[in-house]
Chains A and B, each alone.
Chain A
């Protein structure tokens, strides 16, 4: 068995040039993630190696070698170029976890255009906001999601092309195009656009406390970080079968569900299905998964189903487990040690970091409940929230901050430079989370530093929910806050005042919940609505979510001197 290098070995004399060398990149050369994750692997002799094994909930299966990935991404790139898609234009992927999502991502990048993946469970309003902000030129979707696009298309003047991967042309309306990746003429050779290190690559949307979601702009050079962290943190080896649970509508699903594993030439497996413990275990046993990158919410759901179901499956292939999305509670680490014989390794990062930044790596003792230590090459600390200077004392809470300059760091917020600049203080990038550091240099998560709700590992912004709530005929005012939850860490709770003529009722609560779920997403749906007469406000009339959040978390409310007394 291979003995992993120690944290100290990896951190000593660290240089991101390690990844540049291994990927064959010289500064100043063109660098294109689409090419790096397909053609390059074929040139290295991996053309016939399996890149993707896909399965849906009915156990239909598709297999793609690295040469298939190369050819099909060429085919998609050729098709997009034929439509007139130009470098830097945004092309949205609005798909379930079908092969076209993973391969289309590379195809878009090969044209020099920017891939904009969006979670396919988003409702029409969430979709509209993100497409409008990005000025998206084309969207690639499935017929099951087409009704959402049709609802909003008239409001999106920049959206020229609606591409449907699984529909007959006869079923489409004017301006919609059918494109079946596997039936289209195969394109053996495509002239990949010579993007450079700082060329935009991926635009992911993430939520903040104020305003609508922000477009987090990444560049092609990000692959340097994603490649090396996938190799060192997820411990990807040539013979591994890797399963990442994340949906590529979110950053984990692109950084570690596409770029990281494929840059490493790894075989990955994808299950396009909803959650079902038995199905998940059957899938891992059948596919002989060796490395599993999951999330605390999923792990806690599995814990609810018990240990007996684990023992009914042969999971002996599992070699390495990691987790991301929210803090991994000690119970989950201990449970995985008990039932799988190995712990989950927590990893911390976010959309803006593009790669894992604080982590437990193989060979490093896991302290259950800790986020681990900064990845080599990442300078991390916690800052005093008033002075923005490093706390420099162990065990004292502060703001998690990173020294800018790693390859996959966000380059800007789309159309929002002012918002982007607010993320930096005293030369540090602020993650928006609080933590403390112990004497061994391990970070311990304490909570968010803002009103953003982390539900099941996804950040949900209160503003977007409140805006949608105000669209409900009965709602006069609202405040969306986090509420603790044993499975999802936090869920959305809405405090609502009603307009005259409306009365609180169970029916109204359910109606509002379903409205938000359909317009925004299931993640944004309040899991509880409390009807109140008034909301706490400042003297200037601004709703103070902090008070409501403290009530939910049973924490002291603190200074109320600026709150109105009604």
Chain B
């Protein structure tokens, strides 16, 4: 897991995994479809990503599918990091 993946995973564990729940979060653990993160809570995850990586993820791309695993979230962040860099 790379740096972005670790940061996302740590944030998910810190903010969404219930106290006393020692489940493992891997790159492919379902987050939204498992109910661990619901579509409302997704907004705080989105804010975290936008703030930490200084990117903007449009609503159309911030879908439950795109946020369903750490792996997909990392891909999303990388995609918009490229957009930000490319737009400079």
Which positions in A face B, CB cutoff 8 Å?
57, 96, 121, 144-147, 272-279, 301, 304-305, 455-456, 486, 488, 491, 506-507, 509-510, 513-514, 517, 522-523, 525, 527
Contacts and interface: CB of A to CB of B under 8 A. Distances in A.
B18 A147 contact: yes
Contact of B18 (A144, A488, A506, A510): A144
Contacts of A96: 35
A97 to B, nearest CB: 9
| Chain B CB within 10 A, most for which of A145, A147, A276, A455 | A276
A507 B51 contact: yes
A279 B33 contact: yes
A274 B63 contact: no
B26 interface: no
A274 B18 contact: no
Contacts of A522: 38, 40-41
Given A147-B20, A301-B39, A305-B63, A57 B48 contact: no
Nearest to A486: B59
B69 to A, nearest CB: 11
A553 to B, nearest CB: 18
A57 B30 contact: yes
Contacts of A456: 39-40
B48 A275 contact: no
A486 B62 CA distance: 13
Contacts of B31: 274
A-B pairs with lowest CB-CB distance, top 3? A276-B33, A522-B40, A274-B35
A274 B64 contact: yes
Nearest to B62: A304
Given A510-B51, A527-B43, A275 B34 contact: no
Given A57-B34, A507-B51, A275 B41 contact: no
Given A144-B18, A144-B21, A274 B34 contact: yes
B18 A275 contact: no
A491 B18 CA distance: 24
A509 B50 CA distance: 13
11 contacts: A57-B34, A147-B18, A273-B34, A274-B32, A275-B32, A275-B39, A276-B30, A276-B68, A510-B47, A513-B44, A525-B40
B65 A276 contact: yes
B36 interface: yes
A275 B51 contact: no
A514 B15 contact: yes
Contacts, number: 82
B3 interface: no
Given A145-B18, A278-B65, A301-B64, A273 B35 contact: yes
Nearest to B60: A304
B19 interface: yes
Given A96-B35, A147-B18, 16 more contacts: A144-B18, A144-B21, A146-B20, A147-B19, A274-B30, A274-B31, A275-B38, A276-B68, A279-B33, A301-B39, A455-B40, A510-B44, A513-B47, A522-B40, A523-B40, A525-B43
Contact of A525 (B41, B64, B68): B41
A146 B41 CA distance: 20
Given A147-B19, A514-B15, A276 B32 contact: yes
Nearest to A171: B20
Given A96-B35, A517-B44, A277 B64 contact: yes
A523 B20 CA distance: 23
A456 B43 CA distance: 14
A274 B37 contact: yes
A219 B9 CA distance: 46
Nearest to B68: A276
Contacts of A491: 40
A37 to B, nearest CB: 26
Contacts of B20: 146-147
Contact of A274 (B21, B38, B47, B59): B38
A449 to B, nearest CB: 24
A209 B40 CA distance: 21
Contacts of B30: 57, 274, 276
Contacts of A301: 39, 63-64
B44 A57 contact: no
Contacts of B18: 144-145, 147
Contacts of A273: 33-35
Contact of A506 (B21, B36, B47): B47
A121 B38 contact: yes
Nearest to A511: B44
A304 B38 contact: no
Contacts of B65: 276-278, 305
Nearest to A144: B18
Contacts of A275: 32-33, 38-39, 64
B67 to A, nearest CB: 10
A57 B37 CA distance: 13
Nearest to B48: A510
A20 B3 CA distance: 64
Nearest to B40: A522
Nearest to B38: A522
B88 to A, nearest CB: 21
Nearest to B64: A275
Contacts of B19: 147
Contacts of B36: 274
